């Protein structure tokens, strides 16, 4: 297992109490998250992917194909003629953008579950907010924006998995106000003997996600070396900022302040970052509304 943070593993490593067997089984019996999205992540992570292979994969999911075509034809890309061909749409968007669209659609579908819709909705909105903030901050960490978006989008997949598998037990935690994030994690561990990071690590490994996504899902609340500027630390910061900007998954009595988080961002003297809180909040709310309307 690849982990660069201090954490306990869901199989009881590093002194952790073994989780109840039913929690492991319940998580691993969940339907595989977005099979097409997952295949695409692996295709793009492990080999030189070809456009026709990706197009062939997308064609197996008509709703997903329609979404990819719709984005490629949006005014943002300003293509002169309507694109009705998936291969061309992928070329216009690029692999990373195609991947992030695919994952967004898959995550949306995973969170559209009849049990606990309100809680699922707040987790979904937190995931989108974190992804957009990771994309925004990615240049400061010298990470490609689409890669940052995709990884941050699935950072709380453990939380979503626990909700799908043990909603009745888990949902009441979302109705409570917790003092700090550490208290939320402790409350999860007291219920499941694993927190949502450990659940995320277990799930992404069960489902066969590329290891960098497992690391993000498993380590984003871990103790990170202060100077580290990688995908996990970027996601960690984006998740905190999503909470501070009003898009939390769980309500904290003492959320971190935006000023404190922004003060910790890496400094790029060649490209100083200007933080505009209201603009960012507006952008996130608009993006959430746009994804939800599809
Ligand atoms: Fe989290
Ligand atoms: Fe989060």
Residues 238, 133: contact at Cβ < 8 Å?
yes
Same-domain check for residues 253 and 160: yes
- What is the spatial distance between Cα 253 and Cα 167, in angstroms, rounded to a whole number? 23
- What is the spatial distance between Cα 6 and Cα 13, in angstroms, rounded to a whole number? 11
- What is the spatial distance between Cα 293 and Cα 41, in angstroms, rounded to a whole number? 25
Ligand 2 being an ion, which residues bring their Cβ within 5 A of it? 156, 239
Q: What is the pLDDT of residues 183-194, one digit of tens each?
A: 999 999 989 989
Interhelix angle 145-153/117-137, nearest 10 degrees: 160
Say if 93 falls within a structural domain: yes
Same-domain check for residues 90 and 172: no
Same-domain check for residues 147 and 197: yes
Residue 226's pLDDT is: 58
CA of 36 to the centre of ligand 2 (A): 24
Same-domain check for residues 259 and 147: yes
SS3 (DSSP) at 269 = coil
Instruction: Please give the C-alpha separations between residue 74 and each of 64, 68, 265, in angstroms, as whole numbers.
Output: 15, 10, 32
Say if 212 falls within a structural domain: yes
Name the residue range of residue 61's domain.
Answer: 29-111
Closest-lying ligand to the alpha carbon of 249? 2
CA of 241 to the centre of ligand 2 (A): 9
DSSP assignment of 110-140: HH--SSSHHHHHHHHHHHHHHHHHHHHHGGG
Q: Residue 22: pLDDT band by 50, 70, 90 thresholds?
A: low
Q: What is the pLDDT of residues 215-259, one digit of tens each?
A: 999 999 987 655 668 999 999 999 999 999 999 999 888 888 899
pTM above 0.75, yes or no: yes
Q: What is the pLDDT of residues 61-120, one digit of tens each?
A: 888 898 899 888 987 777 778 888 999 999 999 888 898 889 888 888 888 877 888 999
In the predicted model, what is the mean pLDDT of the chain? 85
CA of 65 to the centre of ligand 2 (A): 28
Say if 43 falls within a structural domain: yes
Same-domain check for residues 101 and 119: no
- What is the spatial distance between Cα 90 and Cα 79, in angstroms, rounded to a whole number? 13
- What is the spatial distance between Cα 242 and Cα 125, in angstroms, rounded to a whole number? 9
CA of 119 to the centre of ligand 2 (A): 14
CA of 245 to the centre of ligand 2 (A): 12
pLDDT at residue 9 greater than cutoff 60: no
Question: Which residues touch 29 (CB under 8 Å, ≥6 apart)?
Answer: 165
CA of 244 to the centre of ligand 1 (A): 14
CA of 161 to the centre of ligand 2 (A): 14
- What is the spatial distance between Cα 125 and Cα 119, in angstroms, rounded to a whole number? 10
Same-domain check for residues 93 and 137: no
CA of 127 to the centre of ligand 2 (A): 7
Looking at the structure of the chain, the number of domains it has is 2
Same-domain check for residues 132 and 121: yes
pLDDT at residue 6 greater than cutoff 90: no
Residue 48's pLDDT is: 76
Residues 209, 44: contact at Cβ < 8 Å?
no
Same-domain check for residues 96 and 193: no
User: Nearest 5°: phi and psi at 177?
Assistant: -100, 125
Closest-lying ligand to the alpha carbon of 243? 2
Ligand 1 being an ion, which residues bring their Cβ within 5 A of it? 156
CA of 53 to the centre of ligand 1 (A): 33
Interhelix angle 181-192/196-207, nearest 10 degrees: 60
Say if 179 falls within a structural domain: yes
Output the domain CATH number for residue 271.
1.10.3210.10
Residue 188's pLDDT is: 93
pLDDT at residue 47 greater than cutoff 70: no
Question: Which residues touch 140 (CB under 8 Å, ≥6 apart)?
Answer: 229, 265, 266, 267, 268, 273
Say if 21 falls within a structural domain: no
Closest-lying ligand to the alpha carbon of 184? 1
């Amino acid at each position: 297992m690849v982990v660069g943070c201090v954490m306990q593993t869901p199989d009881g490593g590093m002194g952790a109490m073994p989780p109840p067997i039913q929690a492991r089984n319940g998580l691993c019996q969940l339907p595989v998250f977005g099979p097409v999205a997952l295949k695409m992540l692996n295709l793009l992570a492990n080999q030189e992917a070809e456009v026709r292979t990706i197009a062939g994969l997308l064609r197996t999911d008509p709703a997903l194909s329609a979404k990819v075509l719709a984005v490629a034809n949006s005014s943002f890309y300003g293509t002169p003629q309507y694109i009705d061909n998936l291969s061309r749409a992928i070329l216009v968007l690029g692999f990373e953008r195609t991947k992030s669209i695919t994952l967004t659609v898959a995550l949306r579908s995973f969170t559209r579950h009849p049990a606990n819709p309100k809680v699922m909705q707040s987790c979904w909105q937190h995931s989108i907010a974190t992804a957009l903030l990771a994309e925004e901050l990615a240049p400061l960490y010298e990470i490609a924006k689409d890669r940052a978006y995709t990884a941050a989008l699935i950072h709380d997949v453990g939380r979503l998995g626990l909700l799908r598998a043990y909603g009745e037990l888990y949902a009441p935690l979302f109705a409570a106000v917790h003092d700090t994030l550490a208290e939320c994690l402790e409350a999860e561990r007291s219920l499941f003997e694993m927190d949502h990071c450990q659940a995320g690590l277990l799930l992404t490994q069960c489902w066969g996600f590329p290891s960098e996504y497992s690391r993000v899902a498993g380590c984003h609340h871990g103790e990170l070396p202060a100077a580290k500027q990688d995908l996990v630390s970027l996601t960690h910061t984006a998740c905190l900022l999503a909470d501070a900007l009003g898009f939390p998954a769980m309500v904290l009595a003492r959320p971190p302040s935006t000023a404190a988080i922004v003060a910790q961002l890496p400094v790029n003297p060649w490209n100083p970052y200007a933080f505009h809180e209201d603009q960012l909040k507006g952008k996130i709310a608009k993006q959430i509304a746009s994804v939800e309307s599809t």
